[in-house]
Amino acid sequence: EFDQQEKTQVDLDDTAKKALKILSEALAADEEPEDIQNTIYQIAKSNDVQPKDFFKILYQIILGTSRGPKIGPFIQDIGRKKVSKTLAEYV
């Protein structure tokens, strides 16, 4: 159960934290991002974070593992606002 997970220890540098903050805000916005997967990719690229590293960070935070299902639809299934709140704990 997603709600019951303990906070995973994730090493984040300042650029990754900045990208996470932007993603958290995008997910929390009332207007739903059209394509979460692409939004994540664009945020990583525009903040000088390697997309594959950013996806790995998201898996570590959300699932406690370094890989998982396609993250965009997975975030949609869990709930954007819930994931946003979880990400905000890391920035």
Assess if residue 8 is contained within a domain. Answer: no
Total domains, the chain:
1
37: in domain: yes
Point out the least confidently predicted range of 31-40, 41-50, 59-68.
31-40
Rounded to two decimals, what is the model's pTM?
0.87
Residue 1 located in a structural domain: no
* Domain range enclosing 38: 29-91
Any domain includes 7: no
Let me know if residue 54 belongs to a domain.
yes
Q: Is residue 52 part of a domain?
A: yes
DSSP string, 54-67: HHHHHHHHHHSSS-
Residue 64 lies in a domain: yes
pLDDT class of 31 with cuts at 50, 70, 90: confident
**Helix count and strand count (H, E) for the chain:** 5, 0
Using an 8 Å Cβ cutoff, are 49 and 40 in contact? no
